[in-house]
Structure 1
Amino acid sequence: MNTGVTPKAPVPDIAAQITYAMRTMGVAPIPRNYELFYEAYIGSNPALTRELSALGSKATQEELDTLGEQYFGRHHQSRIMENVHSRIVTELDGLLGLLKQEQSSLESYNKLLGETCTRINNKSKNSAELLRSAITLLQEATGDTMAHGEKTVESVEQKSQEMAEVRKELDEYKRIANTDSLTRIANRRAFDEKLAAIYDGSFNLPLTGLVLADIDHFKKINDSYGHPVGDKILASVATVIRTNVRKDVFVSRTGGEEFAIIVDGNTPDEIMQMCERVRQALELTPFKNSRTGVNYGPITLSLGLCMANAAEDPGELYAKADIALYCAKNAGRNCSRQFEDGMKKDFTKSWLIYRR
């Protein structure tokens, strides 16, 4: 299923092929099923592809969900997120209860102050006796109120600590959900969010660029040496990319042998220089099995850049960066290209097929 090298001829619409495969197998057209079939289609996980094919035309939703949990863990993570959300709601309810108790205690204390004031203003009683009674009453009430307040403060602090722990768990789950397990960089889910955010007003569009990168002839590598070797090469390529860009540059694996880089705060020339730095670093990186002496290299990248101000929205930005990548492939691979008007447009993948 992995096409590996970008073809020179126009390819069929991926979304249509996936939808057709799901319909043929009688699979419900829901997002989590589409995600499963997409991953199988691009061939990023051969074991998943084989197991999904083995289900044939009688796959049940339970079997599909089991595969999804086994290979992605996202359905399981969704349940974890729901549990964390439930715990946060419980902690907030407890905190609200404490604040209501404190409010009730203060209202009772204020009422007592008012009653004491009324008694003091009643001139029909002996002044000394009245003052002694009022002072004793106020001392007891004030002591009780202060003790209750201290207890409330302690309880609120405890609740705050518990909520902070839940928040840390939630942040960790989100980090895991947005990390590619093989390469340890951001995954397509994180890329979707980052790409969509480019046009929310927080980015300087003329100085923001999207780079799509693709390992050249990766299918040949998998076919020649096997997927375990291919997986190690993917992880190494991710490390090379990450090492040769700034720490604040967003780097992700978007599927199979494809990577995406989002750069903010650089001119087109500077981003192209970054692309060339990454490309040359990878070209010079040795890929050799130290035990067997087998040389898997050279491993090279083709890269396509489009600046955010050259597009109206995330979908168009992705499509134009993909056109630039296609032109780099068509120019002989192992090179970088920036999108320009007039570039060949008959091969584009819509970013929308990645959306969940």
Structure 2
Amino acid sequence: MREQGISSLPRNYELVYRFLNTSNPALIREFAALGPRPTQPQLDEVGLKFLPHLHQERAVDNTLESVFEEMRKMIRLFRQDRSMLEKYSDLLGQTSARMSRKGEISLDFLDDLNRVLSSATADTMEKSKAIIGQMVERASELDRLKSELEEYKRLSSTDPVTRLSNRRAFDTRLAAIYDSPETAARQALLIADIDHFKTFNDTWGHQVGDRVLSTTAAIITRTLGSETFVARIGGEEFAIVLETASVEQAQTTAERLRVTIGSTPFRDHNDGVDHGRLTISLGLCMAADASSPAHLYKRADAMLYEAKKSGRNQVRTYAPKMKRMLGLLKR
């Protein structure tokens, strides 16, 4: 994506992943036709056609405009009600003034006064009742629109395949690690990658690959607990923020996850086909061993690379003493 100048937006990650792994010839053809350094509108045109679930922006904009319109209607209703009550108040004031002039009071005057006040009061109450009813309708519509926006917000931070948090939500959670020295001191970042996933995907097909991703996500969540933050950050890669007191505890957790996934058979319950077993490689870094979110991610990712390079299906942990060695590897 960097080579092609494609922005690191969640929908772009998913589009590029689908292009690289899908068996859909139309998607492959149209994405390839964009050529080098495609613009965001060009990417969105292809994405909207093949991955419509990723393009909530237009729906959000429409919903927001509906919210603004409902608010404008509410303001007009309030102004209408205020104007009506002001007119009624003026009438009462004029009536009171006339009644203070005793010389004008007669039976005909009182009859006329009673008729005017009764009519004005009934009319005001009826109009107020109608306005209140409209206000209730507007409030109900605003509640519905608020629910829509909350759902769009949830979808914007959720990976559609695994139902885990997506890259956007991960970036936010990663930054929060360094909100204070106390939070950084007890957290760690674990990056996991399914070994040889592209080969598996090419062998069994994209749909089976998606089921593997969702099953892996379920195993991670079940193994680590629903309170642990887990995100799919692209392709077959997952990021996990661990709440842990020590590097030993974090390593134990990572190893338990590796063993659990490696011992789980991936069988298609629909046709009974056994797709074999998968393994994962993991890179671990304690937040205290990095100075920023980007630094933490870089070190955990470097450890993942080391795990892959060393044969896969293992956990590699960053330690301060490895800093010099990593520097030498880059030369």
TM tier, shorter chain? 0.7 to 0.9
Q: Is the 8 A contact 1:241 1:278 kept in 2?
A: yes
Decide whether aligned partners of structure 1 residues 102 and 51 sit closer, same or farther in structure 2, where only a CA change above 3 A counts.
same
CA distance in structure 2 between the aligned counterparts of 1:273 and 1:106, rounded to whole angstroms: 71
CA distance in structure 2 between the aligned counterparts of 1:123 and 1:234, rounded to whole angstroms: 89
Q: Is the 8 A contact 1:39 1:255 kept in 2?
A: no
Post-superposition Cα deviations, 1:294-343, rounded to whole Å, max 9, x if no partner, equal 5522x122223334454443322322322333344455433334433243
Q: How much does 1:282 deviate?
A: 0.9
Q: Could you tell me the TM-score, scaled by structure 1's length? A: 0.74
Q: Check if 1:280 corresponds to 2:266.
A: no
Q: Check if 1:94 corresponds to 2:94.
A: no
Spell out the pairing of 1:94-133 with structure 2 (5 A cutoff).
Answer: 94-126=73-105
Decide whether aligned partners of structure 1 residues 293 and 165 sit closer, same or farther in structure 2, where only a CA change above 3 A counts.
closer
Amino acid paired to 2:276: Y
Q: Could you say which residue in structure 1 is the equivalent of 2:245?
A: 267
Q: Is the 8 A contact 1:65 1:75 kept in 2?
A: no
What are the ranges of 5 or more consecutive residues in structure 2 without an aligned counterpart? none
Q: Check if 1:78 corresponds to 2:53.
A: no
Q: Could you say which residue in structure 1 is the equivalent of 2:218?
A: 239
What are the ranges of 5 or more consecutive residues in structure 1 without an aligned counterpart? 1-13, 20-28, 349-356
Which one of 233, 248, 258 corresponds to residue 254 of structure 1?
A: 233
Decide whether aligned partners of structure 1 residues 140 and 199 sit closer, same or farther in structure 2, where only a CA change above 3 A counts.
farther
Decide whether aligned partners of structure 1 residues 198 and 148 sit closer, same or farther in structure 2, where only a CA change above 3 A counts.
farther
CA distance in structure 2 between the aligned counterparts of 1:270 and 1:321, rounded to whole angstroms: 16
Q: Is the 8 A contact 1:68 1:74 kept in 2?
A: no
Post-superposition Cα deviations, 1:157-204, rounded to whole Å, max 9, x if no partner, equal 111111222222223333334332322322223323433444557x93
Q: Check if 1:189 corresponds to 2:168.
A: yes
Larger helix proportion of the pair: 2
RMSD value, Cα: 3.8
Spell out the pairing of 1:18-97 with structure 2 (5 A cutoff).
Answer: 18-19=4-5, 35=12, 39=16, 43-45=20-22, 47=24, 48-49=27-28, 51-54=30-33, 56=35, 64-73=43-52, 76-97=55-76
CA distance in structure 2 between the aligned counterparts of 1:81 and 1:151, rounded to whole angstroms: 31
- Secondary structure of the 2:56 match is helix
- Secondary structure of the 1:91 match is helix
Q: Check if 1:302 corresponds to 2:281.
A: yes
Q: Check if 1:323 corresponds to 2:302.
A: yes
CA distance in structure 1 between the aligned counterparts of 2:18 and 2:326, rounded to whole angstroms: 23
Give the percent of matched residue pairs that are identical in Structure 1 and Structure 2.
Answer: 36
Amino acid paired to 2:16: E
Q: Is the 8 A contact 2:21 2:206 kept in 1?
A: no
Q: How much does 1:156 deviate?
A: 0.9
Which piece of structure 1 moves more, 339-348 or 142-151? 339-348
Decide whether aligned partners of structure 1 residues 121 and 306 sit closer, same or farther in structure 2, where only a CA change above 3 A counts.
farther
CA distance in structure 2 between the aligned counterparts of 1:33 and 1:318, rounded to whole angstroms: 17
Amino acid paired to 2:86: E
